[in-house]
Amino acid sequence: MKEKARVLDNQAMSRSLSRIAHEILEHNRGTDNLAIVGIRSRGAYLAQRLAEGIKKIDGKEIPVGILDITLYRDDLTLLAAQPVVRKTEISFDITDKNIILVDDVLYTGRTIRCALSELIDFGRPKTIQLAVLVDRGHRELPIRADYVGKNIPTSQNETVEVRLEETDGRDEVAIVEK
């Protein structure tokens, strides 16, 4: 695989997350009844960063959870003979909360569909809003993000790689040709 273009560096990623944090606060009129849930793995790190950004802006801490959607996937048998299932960590009641669901890349919409199914198993939130760092298009399901860091048009023979300090040692987003 060959890197075609670097579309976000660490400063651009930081600005995107800061803008999303502001948009979340504005749309929800503050932090009352607000919680963030990130989809493992990179979505979980981005969720934590958004919560920290919201705290910087508003001065209030909001609950953050982590969702592992492995068992909810419709392509589980295609992934591996023994897929790795990690723990979902939601230590708060989501009932009647405004949940911000966070992922790194929105592509077909299938990951988000799985996350919605699992999230509903934990309770009945007032709203579920979707925040993604990158929307690359090519939807297969009628799913749209409420908050987008960057729209990146891609072709089917490209992938979007989100690299985070926590997992990859640097913050950047690149388009890679298969």
pLDDT digits (tens, 9 = 90+) for 154-168: 999 999 999 999 999
**158: CB partners within 8 A, 6+ apart:** 4, 175, 176, 177, 178
Q: Within the chain, which residues score under 70 in pLDDT?
A: 73-84
User: Is domain 2-73+84-177 given the CATH code 3.40.50.2020 in the classification?
Assistant: yes
Going from N- to C-terminal start, the domains of the chain cover: 2-73+84-177
Residue 154 φ/ψ, nearest 5 degrees: -135, 165
* Signed CA dihedral, 176, 172, 164, 67: sign only: negative
3-14 per-position pLDDT tens digit: 999 999 999 999
pLDDT for res 77? 47
Alpha carbon distance 87, 40 (integer Å): 9
Q: How far is CA 126 from CA 12, 19, 88, 165, in A?
A: 32, 23, 20, 33
Both tokens of residue 87?
Answer: 């723990």
Q: What is the pTM of this model?
A: 0.93
